[in-house]
């Protein structure tokens, strides 16, 4: 505003009233017609009767429009007055574009306008005192030439600003021919305007310090109509390279929303660097300082990297990256967004029941937790050692290294102690006692102690499930890829984690415990309630009594590592983090492995500490919910058990007037096939695809396929039960 109070913008121009100078020697109807028109158009109006008064007034107010009476040459010489006004105008504004209208007599209409144009008039108005004619003339002038003149004045102001700017500014046309550089540019770069204007940018020597592809990057950015900003080394005339913080803005011509209309566009380069004491320099360096003092979270780094990449990316990439940033800024990165409620209610209930902790809490419905004190090992007759396992039990475990091993045979043969027996056999196969330097008797007591704390009254989450997960874990540990990735301590951790992973499970979901305000939910702040409890209790049971402390002989650091791995795996079985674990596995392991051509660096991917953690989490997760990948008969049995446990929960919720977490699991209405289909669709398929891609499990995928078809078949026959009715 310091340079010009005018505005090229029409809306604003309309608000600022224009000013008109009328030079009429005598008041007559024409004079009055213009006066009235000015009033109606809301123009400020001055009237001068003599050339002297006109010049005086103009010097003071420099009007937007001067209308000079040319009808009576006996009063004054309109043409010379116009020239004088123009002269003043030129001194005031630096360029000649005053708006002079000459008012002439009708009989002069045929005469040439040339003399008038030469003296500086832009327009001739033939005498017409009709007020509407005067008004219309003013409006046309305003919308046409006055506006154009305002724009010119605004340009003038902007160029004045450019001249005064402390920042180096360079303007090129579309073909990169330099149109303008400002004085700051001249003094920073050491060139004179004249040496640069008209030259193509490519003709000006470049610094070699820039990356070779930088110019191409910049140009492709500009071509896309995007601004580029970054560090650029410019070469001064004297040959010195100077590092500059450069911003390059493509200027698209008026109405140039389309790229093909960019003819005559200008590129404005603004270089913000002016010696060492320039204020902009200071601003930048102080910003940098603030930045480096901040502790950046990895996600902040990621966002910064993407922002920087966006700067130099083609439009579609930049737009895609915008979308990426939007997603990255949300807090729940791994929770899939379920659509509307129209979705399958089975999926909704499973997700609601398994993936939320249900922070709703009703008062007065205290759920009494089933086992406050850990159970002591029962004094069932236990085998003294592996060799003492009764032959009929041993027989059921003969093929425990096969995926098709039938755990239910073991369950019936061993008086509900499948975990202890299978544990003894598997742990010995993996040399766990040797690794832990613990006597087999300790392991036996430990297994008994853990198994005793599984609730045999739960129809699903009893020690048979733990034994089943242990079996799957052991099976996965023998897969080639898994063996390449894990060390023995990881194997031991995985086997122990599988054994303890649901210990003291109350047969109710986390959501239920939270809703019921159970002691555990309160203890663990409604967060991973059960999984925290399983992990914590496992270590309590283990370390409380030397007789069953399998960790007693471990070296401290090794124990800590092992303990950490066990806790991590048990917590990974929590379903609220399901998609996080699966996605991390896919992104960090599956994708990099798939991208590898030769097998040279596979080892690096497989054995990095971070990836080993991801493998272990995925392993125990898959083992934990591998039921749909078991042979059909086993799969059906497990489906019956989990449904029964959920039904029992719904029954209790109704009895206690608690919110029903999974309404589809109502024993009166539930379609077990539908619930299995939803569970497989939502949780199983993607996870096992990823796990199969890693560990190579064609037999599991075949079972999964069969089982899915089985449930589909029942559902298509509108059957709700586990099995088709007998023929």
Ligand X SMILES: *[C@@H]1O[C@H](CO)[C@@H](O)[C@H](O)[C@H]1NC(C)=O
Q: Which residues are annotated as a binding site?
A: 461-465, 501-502, 624, 676
Query: What are the tokens at 94?
Result: 């630096």
Separation of CA 290 from chain center? 24
β-pair type (44-48, 266-272): unpaired
63: left (phi over 0), alpha (psi -120 to 50) or beta: beta
**CA–CA separation, 329 vs 325, rounded Å?**
6
Question: Which residue, judged by CB position, is nearest to ligand X in the bound state?
Answer: 456
Residue 520 contacts by C-beta under 8 Å, 6 or more apart in sequence? 369, 513, 529, 530, 533
CB 417 within 8 A of CB 463: yes
The smaller minimum CB distance to ligand X, of residues 269 and 461, is found at 461
Using alpha carbons only, how large is the chain's radius of gyration in Å? Answer: 43
**CA–CA separation, 374 vs 685, rounded Å?**
36
CB 241 within 8 A of CB 234: yes
DSSP assignment of 307-371 equals HHHHHTS-HHHHHHHHHHHHHHTSS-SSS-----TTS-HHHHHHHHHHH-------TT-PPPPS-
Active-site residue, 375 included:
no
CB 185 within 8 A of CB 170: yes
Residue 535 contacts by C-beta under 8 Å, 6 or more apart in sequence? 500, 566, 567, 570, 571
**CA–CA separation, 281 vs 277, rounded Å?**
7
Nearest CA among 680, 466, 501 for reference residue 573: 501
**How far is residue 136 from each of residues 12, 334, 416, measured CA to CA in Å?**
21, 67, 104
Catalytic residue among 455, 461, 471, 581: 461
Residue 703 sits at φ, ψ, to 5 deg, of -60, -45
What residues line the site for ligand X (CB under 6 A)? 411, 416, 418, 456, 459, 462-464, 524-525, 598-600, 641
CB 454 within 8 A of CB 504: yes
Query: What are the tokens at 336?
Result: 């899939």
Nearest CA among 237, 258, 259, 72 for reference residue 168: 237
What's the order of all strands across the beta sheet hosting 241-251? 178-181, 168-173, 266-272, 241-251, 228-235
The smaller minimum CB distance to ligand X, of residues 629 and 642, is found at 642
Q: How many CA atoms lie within 13 A of 652 on its CB side?
A: 18
Nearest CA among 565, 525, 537, 541 for reference residue 435: 565
Identify the DSSP state of 406: -
Nearest CA among 675, 666, 656 for reference residue 719: 675
**CA–CA separation, 560 vs 570, rounded Å?**
15
Query: What are the tokens at 390?
Result: 């009764």
Residue 170 sits at φ, ψ, to 5 deg, of -130, 135
């Amino acid at each position: 505003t310091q340079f010009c109070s005018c505005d090229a913008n029409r809306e604003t121009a309309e608000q600022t009233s224009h000013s008109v100078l009328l030079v009429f020697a005598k008041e007559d109807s024409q004079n009055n017609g213009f006066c009235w028109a000015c009033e109606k158009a809301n123009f400020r109006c001055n009237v001068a009767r003599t050339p002297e008064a006109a010049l005086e007034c103009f010097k003071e107010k420099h009007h937007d429009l001067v209308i000079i009476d040319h009808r009576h040459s006996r009063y004054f010489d309109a043409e010379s007055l116009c020239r004088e006004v123009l002269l003043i105008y030129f001194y005031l504004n630096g360029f000649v574009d005053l708006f002079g209208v000459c008012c002439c007599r009708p009989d002069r209409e045929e005469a040439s306008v040339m003399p008038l144009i030469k003296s500086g008039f832009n327009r001739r108005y033939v005498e017409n005192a009709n007020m509407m004619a005067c008004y219309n003339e003013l409006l046309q002038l305003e919308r046409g030439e006055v506006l154009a003149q305002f724009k010119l004045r605004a340009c003038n102001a902007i160029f004045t600003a450019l001249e005064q700017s402390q920042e180096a500014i360079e303007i090129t046309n579309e073909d990169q021919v330099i149109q303008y550089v400002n004085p700051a540019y001249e003094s920073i770069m050491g060139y004179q305007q004249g040496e640069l204007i008209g030259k193509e940018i490519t003709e000006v020597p470049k610094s070699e310090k820039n990356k070779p592809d930088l110019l191409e990057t910049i140009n492709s950015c500009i071509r896309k109509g995007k601004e580029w900003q970054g560090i650029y080394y410019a070469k001064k005339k004297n040959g010195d390279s100077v590092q500059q913080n450069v911003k390059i803005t493509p200027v698209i011509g008026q109405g140039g929303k389309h790229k093909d209309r960019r003819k005559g566009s200008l590129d404005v380069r603004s270089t913000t660097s002016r010696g060492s004491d320039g204020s902009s320099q200071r601003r930048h360096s102080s910003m940098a300082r603030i930045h480096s003092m901040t502790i950046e979270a990895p996600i902040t780094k990621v966002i910064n990297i993407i922002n920087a990449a966006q700067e130099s990316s083609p439009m579609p990439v930049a737009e895609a990256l915008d979308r990426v940033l939007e997603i990255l800024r949300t807090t729940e990165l791994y929770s899939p967004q379920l659509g509307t409620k129209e979705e399958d209610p089975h999926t909704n209930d499973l997700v609601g029941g398994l993936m939320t902790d249900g922070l709703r809490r009703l008062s007065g419905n205290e759920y009494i937790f089933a086992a406050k004190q850990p159970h002591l090992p029962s004094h069932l007759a236990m085998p003294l050692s592996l060799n003492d396992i009764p032959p009929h039990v041993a027989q059921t475990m003969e093929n425990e290294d096969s995926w098709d091993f039938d755990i239910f045979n073991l369950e019936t043969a061993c008086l509900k102690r499948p975990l202890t027996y299978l544990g003894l056999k598997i742990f010995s196969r993996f040399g766990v006692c040797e690794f832990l330097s613990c006597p087999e008797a300790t392991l036996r007591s430990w297994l008994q102690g853990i198994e005793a704390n599984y609730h045999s009254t739960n129809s699903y989450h009893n020690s048979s499930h733990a034994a089943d997960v242990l079996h799957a874990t052991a099976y996965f540990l023998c897969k080639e890829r898994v063996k390449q990735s894990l060390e023995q301590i990881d194997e031991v951790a995985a086997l122990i984690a599988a054994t303890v992973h649901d210990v003291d499970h109350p047969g109710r979901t986390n959501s239920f415990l939270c809703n019921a305000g159970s002691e555990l939910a309160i203890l663990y702040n409604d967060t991973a309630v059960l999984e925290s409890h399983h992990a914590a209790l496992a270590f309590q049971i283990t370390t409380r009594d030397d007789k069953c402390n399998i960790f007693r002989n471990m070296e401290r650091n090794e124990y800590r590592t092992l303990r950490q791995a066990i806790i991590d795996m048990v917590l990974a079985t929590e379903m609220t983090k399901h998609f996080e674990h699966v996605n991390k596995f896919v992104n960090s392991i599956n994708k990099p492995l798939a991208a590898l051509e030769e097998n040279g660096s596979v080892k690096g991917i497989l054995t990095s500490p971070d990836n080993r953690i991801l493998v272990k989490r995925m392993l125990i997760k898959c083992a934990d919910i591998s039921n749909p990948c078991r042979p059909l008969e086993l799969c059906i049995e497990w489906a019956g058990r989990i449904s029964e446990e959920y039904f029992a929960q719904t029954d209790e919720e109704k009895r206690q007037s608690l919110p029903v977490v999974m309404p589809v699991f109502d024993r009166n209405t539930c379609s077990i096939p539908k619930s299995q289909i939803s569970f497989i669709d939502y949780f199983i398929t993607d996870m096992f695809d990823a796990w199969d891609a890693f560990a190579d499990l064609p037999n599991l995928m075949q079972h999964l396929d069969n089982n899915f078809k089985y449930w589909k078949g029942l559902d298509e026959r509108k059957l709700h039960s586990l099995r088709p009715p007998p023929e």
